[in-house]
Amino acid sequence: MTVSSAVQNADERYALARAAYREIPLYTPDKTPVAIDLRDNTNLWGVPPAAARVIADAARAVARYPTLYSMDLKRRIAEYVGHGVTPESIVVGCGSDEVLGSAIRGLAEPGDHFVYSDPTFPMAVLYGRMAGLTPVPIPFAADWDIDPDAISAARGRVIYVCSPNNPTGVPASRASIEAVVTNSDGLVIIDEAYAEFAGVTSVDLALENDRVLVTRTFSKAFGLAGLRVGYGIGAPALIREIEKARGPYTVNALAERAAVAALTEDLEWVRERVAETVANRVRLREKIAELGFAPLPSESNFILLVVRDAVGLTGRLFDLGVGIRPYPKLPRIGDAVRMTVGPWSMMQTLLSGLRTAHNEWL
């Protein structure tokens, strides 16, 4: 087969494909280059300085395997997270995506229910489907909180709570999270990819209850998305099962060193960037509301706007050099667009683009 016919036939079904994979699409968000890219909620100030230095110095480390389960990194994460977390309560992975996928694969059987509030982070739902679980979407309650009664009634072997939720930006209330944990008997995964921007956490619940796993990442506040490091916090017995499903060596030697350096020397840099993000988010949301758009009340490093035509607005901003993420026809929301909050100069370009688009449509 020639290369071009292989490409042409990429849509064809593969005979040996697993049944659970047949309807699963490859995750392919738009990555077309754009001057100001606000599409993926990463740290728009860049890489923290100590992490950058360690990466430049680490070339000699890569001829050998990394450590099996990253004990040094786990110790630093435990100190950073606080709440009395110990390294035995931590699993690290190639992004928190790998922790999510390993937890679902390691703890649930094909046919079990994967319960989540819709709309949420699509990769979590895809990992559920890849493991053969049946997705059970539950509508959000009023105020964008999760609906604990509907979630508990759905009998999830795995219940996924993203808090703050992507793409709405709103955290689940503490009372709702506690109700879900109390009134269900499956694994409750609380995805805290944006916890640094919200200032609330459920880590204490993960230490008290061996059915609760909290996941976090170095991809957002920490500015290390390209290295792929994330972690989960839970009871040591749960963590061991997830590590079995994950396997050894998945956090590479550069990533491990850079994450340790970031936790040891860059925390002030990270905290300053988080404070700036939160200040810019509040300011941006006010300005966007003044333009006549309807932004949701985010507690993360992005804002979701309800709009009339998500794809049209995204295309218009792209022409003006600004990349945002379109969400056509979200459940309970309708058309919306999501944009990452970054340095104010980028936000000014975004605002002038939104102003132009808005005026054209008035």
Ligand X SMILES: *Cc1c(COP(=O)(O)O)cnc(C)c1O
Give the residues lining the site for ligand X (CB under 6 A): 41, 95-97, 121, 162, 166, 191, 193, 217, 219-220, 225, 230
Quick one: angle between helices 253-265 and 71-81, nearest 10?
Answer: 30
295 vs 353 by CB, closer to ligand X: 295
Provide the 10 A C-beta neighbour count for residue 18: 11
**Nearest distance, CB of residue 7 and ligand X, angstroms:** 28
**Nearest distance, CB of residue 345 and ligand X, angstroms:** 24
**Nearest distance, CB of residue 221 and ligand X, angstroms:** 11
Residue nearest to ligand X (CB): 95
156 vs 167 by CB, closer to ligand X: 167
| Sign for the pseudo-dihedral over CA of 71, 77, 80, 83 | negative
Q: How far apart are CA 162 and CA 188, in angstroms?
A: 10
Q: How far apart are CA 215 and CA 313, in angstroms?
A: 33
Residue 357 Cα distances to 36, 138, 213, angstroms? 16, 34, 42
69 vs 222 by CB, closer to ligand X: 222
Using the 8-state DSSP alphabet, how is residue 121 labeled?
-
50 vs 94 by CB, closer to ligand X: 94
Can you give 34-70 as a three-state secondary structure string? CCEECCCCCCCCCCCHHHHHHHHHHHHHHHCCCCCCC
| Sign for the pseudo-dihedral over CA of 29, 197, 340, 275 | negative
Residues in the chain: 362
Q: How far apart are CA 320 and CA 305, in angstroms?
A: 18
**Nearest distance, CB of residue 354 and ligand X, angstroms:** 23
Containing 350, the helix (H) or strand (E) segment is helix 344-361
Q: Is 199 exposed, middle or buried (0-12, 13-18, 19+ CB in 10 A)?
A: exposed
151 vs 357 by CB, closer to ligand X: 151
**Nearest distance, CB of residue 338 and ligand X, angstroms:** 10
**Nearest distance, CB of residue 225 and ligand X, angstroms:** 6
198 CB contacts (<8 Å, ≥6 apart)? 163, 164, 171, 299, 300
**Nearest distance, CB of residue 318 and ligand X, angstroms:** 21
102 vs 219 by CB, closer to ligand X: 219
**Nearest distance, CB of residue 40 and ligand X, angstroms:** 7
Q: How far apart are CA 156 and CA 143, in angstroms?
A: 23
Using the 8-state DSSP alphabet, how is residue 133 labeled?
P
**Nearest distance, CB of residue 198 and ligand X, angstroms:** 12
Q: Extract the tokens encoding 49.
A: 């300085």
39 vs 220 by CB, closer to ligand X: 220
2 vs 28 by CB, closer to ligand X: 28
189 vs 350 by CB, closer to ligand X: 189
Whether the CB-CB separation of 355 and 320 falls below 8 Å is answered with no
